[in-house]
């Protein structure tokens, strides 16, 4: 169906941060399939793990024990500080699991109609509950009636969450992206995350963090909440977890980890041997190849290069990000840059119409990062040199 206005190019193979199209043209991939290809393309350990696992066993069922799933759950618990994992196949399913978990948790406390605090500009997926939690009218338009039970507040503003706490006694949880991805690479302050932790503790709420896009090493630590030194009650993962093999995970700790019982939630494919083997290989490669340190260092090169070349220029609102999650916000819509970059052999994305978004694979090296800059910076400069569209700047 016509769900995407697709760019007319198809890739046939890839190697590390490079992909080739049908005509043999080579592109530098600074998007990683929207934060999915953690290890880039054609990573030998990953392809070997997938080949070996698929020759042994691809799928059984969650009716049985699954050794690869148990190993992955142990590994995720060890790196995240969480106690339990529910496996699914995507980010929206991970968020659905969290929403269901929060409601069950609320009913367990005797709250009749449990509510969840969610943020402006949030993105949690496109199923009915997750698009209702999403803070973007474009995602919701036409799908009314929305799922009720969400209390929306401004992002990165602890005072409005405190107000929600005093106004609405039915709230049982907060759902937040530590760095909003689709919403325009909006980085929350670490103090905000600590304040949210404190507020959730004092109110008996669950702190649920959606790290589907920002998590898994992209910012230099496994998870962004670890930069803030806090421990959430629920953590949601997907995108980069298995480097492109579909998988999602809802991690929980303490009381939250004991909410689901046999029969309350499930998934046919979730946590199957193939996806779990790919995730185990991804996590092992991140550790063995020092990819978190690399993400931090290369992200620093990109951010510094973009700031030096673009920050403060007329037409540039802000250059921001953390690690390999970078946004350049312009004063007006810049979707045309995606095609111009493609023409020049670079894969990027624009989100929220005005934010150039970079989400490179964690294996990008410094010379490749400099190539990203050498292609992107002149493109942005000439884009900005065009007459501004007839609309109020900084609307
Ligand atoms: C992409 C994304 C989702 C949805 O993931 P899907 O796999 O597309 O369902 C949810 N939350 C965040 C933060 C995301 O970036």
**CA 241 to CA 238: how far, in whole Å?**
5
CA of 319 from ligand 1 middle (Å) equals: 23
Do residues 21 and 246 make contact, with C-beta atoms less than 8 angstroms apart?
Answer: no
Active site residue 123: yes
CB 281, CB 287: distance < 8 Å? no
What integer pLDDT is reported at residue 388 of this predicted model? Answer: 76
C-alpha neighbours within 13 Å on the C-beta side of residue 188: 31
Residue 248: enclosing H or E segment and its boundaries? strand 248-252
Q: Which residues pair with 206 in a beta bridge?
A: 173
Domains of the chain: 11-35+290-385 (3.90.1150.10), 45-288 (3.40.640.10)
Q: What is the 3-state secondary structure (H, E, C) of 117-165?
A: EEECCCCCCCCHHHHHHCCCHHHHCCCCCCCCCEEEECCCCHHHHHHHH
Strands 234-237, 248-252: parallel, antiparallel or unpaired by DSSP? antiparallel
This prediction's pTM: 0.97
Strands 84-88 and 26-29: unpaired
Confidence (pLDDT) at 395: 45
Among residues 86, 123, 223, 260, which one is catalytic? Answer: 123
Provide the β-strand partners of residue 358: 326
Q: Which atom of ligand 1 is nearest to the CA of 91?
A: 5
For helices 44-56 and 273-288, angle between their N-to-C axes, nearest 10 degrees: 160
From the CA of 130, give the closest atom in ligand 1.
Answer: 10
- Residue 33's region, left for phi above 0, alpha for psi from -120 to 50, else beta, is left
Which alpha helices (DSSP H) does the chain contain, by range?
32-35, 44-56, 67-80, 91-108, 128-133, 137-140, 158-167, 190-203, 224-227, 273-288, 291-310, 336-343, 366-385
Question: Which residue has the CA at smallest separation from atom 10 of ligand 1?
Answer: 124
CB atoms within 10 A of CB 379: 19
Cα(387) to ligand 1 centroid in Å equals: 35
Mean pLDDT, the chain cut into blocks of 10 residues (395 residues total)? 96 98 98 98 98 98 98 98 98 98 98 98 98 97 98 98 92 98 98 98 98 98 98 98 98 98 97 98 98 98 98 97 98 97 98 98 98 98 87 53
pLDDT at site 118: 98
Cα 124 from Cα 16, distance rounded (Å): 29
Q: Which of 191, 192, 183, 244 has the alpha carbon at shortest distance from 214?
A: 183
Using CA atoms, how far apart are residues 39 and 37, in angstroms rounded to an integer?
6
Q: What confidence score (pLDDT) does residue 391 get? A: 60
Query: Nearest Cα to 353, choosing from 312, 385, 395?
Result: 395
Q: What is the pLDDT of residue 72?
A: 98
Which of 212, 224, 240, 359 is the best mutation target for the ligand 1 pocket, counting ligand atoms within 8 Å of the beta carbon and taking the most? Answer: 212
- Expressed in angstroms and rounded, the spacing between residue 212 Cα and the centre of ligand 1 is 6
Ligand 1 center to 182 CA (angstroms): 9
Task: Give the pLDDT score at 389.
Answer: 76
Distance (angstroms) between ligand 1 centre and the Cα of 147 equals 18
* Ligand 1 centroid distance, CA of 162 (Å): 27
- The alpha carbons of the chain give a radius of gyration, in whole angstroms, of 21
In ligand 1, the atom with minimum distance to the C-alpha of 213 is: 15
Most ligand 1 atoms within 8 A of CB, residue of 35, 38, 131, 213 to mutate: 213
DSSP string for residues in 286-309: HHHTTHHHHHHHHHHHHHHHHHHH
Q: Which one from 86, 155, 210, 233 is the annotated catalytic residue?
A: 210
* Residue 210 designated active-site: yes
Q: Report whether 206 contacts 174 (CB < 8 A).
A: yes
Residue 116 · residue 176 · CB < 8 Å: no
38, 133, 182: residue to mutate for ligand 1 pocket, most atoms within 8 A of CB: 182
CA 306 to chain centre: 22
C-beta of residue 165 within 8 angstroms of C-beta of residue 173: no
């Amino acid at each position: 169906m016509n769900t995407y206005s697709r760019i007319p190019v198809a890739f046939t193979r890839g190697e590390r941060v490079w992909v080739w199209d049908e005509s043999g043209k080579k592109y530098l991939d600074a998007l990683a399939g929207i934060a999915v290809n953690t290890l880039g393309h054609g990573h030998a350990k990953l392809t070997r793990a997938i080949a070996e696992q698929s020759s042994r066993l691809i799928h059984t069922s969650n009716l049985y024990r699954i050794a690869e799933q148990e190993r992955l759950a142990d590994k995720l618990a060890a790196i995240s500080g969480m106690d339990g994992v529910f496996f699914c196949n995507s980010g929206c399913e991970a968020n659905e699991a969290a929403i269901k978990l929060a409601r069950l948790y609320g009913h367990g406390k005797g709250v009749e109609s449990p509510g969840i605090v969610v943020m402006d500009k949030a993105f949690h997926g496109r199923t009915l509950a997750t698009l209702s939690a999403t803070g973007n009218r474009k995602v919701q338009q036409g799908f009314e009636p929305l799922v009720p039970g969400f209390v929306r507040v401004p992002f990165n503003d602890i005072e409005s969450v405190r107000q929600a706490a005093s106004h609405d006694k039915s709230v049982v949880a907060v759902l937040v992206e530590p760095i909003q991805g689709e919403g325009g690479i909006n980085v929350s302050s670490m103090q905000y995350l600590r304040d949210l932790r404190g507020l959730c503790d004092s109110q008996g709420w669950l702190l649920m963090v959606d790290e589907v896009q920002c998590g898994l090493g992209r910012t230099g630590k496994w998870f962004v909440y670890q930069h803030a030194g806090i421990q959430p009650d629920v953590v949601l993962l997907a995108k980069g977890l298995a480097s492109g093999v579909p998988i999602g995970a809802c991690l929980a700790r303490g009381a939250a980890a004991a909410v689901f019982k046999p029969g309350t939630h499930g998934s046919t494919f979730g946590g199957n041997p193939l996806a779990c083997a790919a995730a185990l290989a991804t996590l092992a490669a991140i550790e063995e190849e020092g990819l978190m340190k690399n993400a931090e260092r290369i992200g620093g090169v990109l951010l510094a290069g973009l700031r030096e070349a673009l920050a403060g220029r007329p037409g540039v609102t802000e250059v921001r990000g953390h690690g390999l999650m970078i946004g350049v916000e312009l004063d007006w819509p810049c979707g045309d840059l995606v095609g111009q970059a493609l023409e020049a052999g670079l894969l990027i994305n624009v989100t929220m119409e005005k934010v150039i978004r970079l989400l490179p694979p964690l294996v990008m090296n410094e010379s490749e990062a400099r190539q990203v800059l050498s292609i992107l910076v002149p493109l942005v400069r000439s884009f900005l040199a065009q007459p501004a569209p007839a609309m109020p700047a900084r609307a």
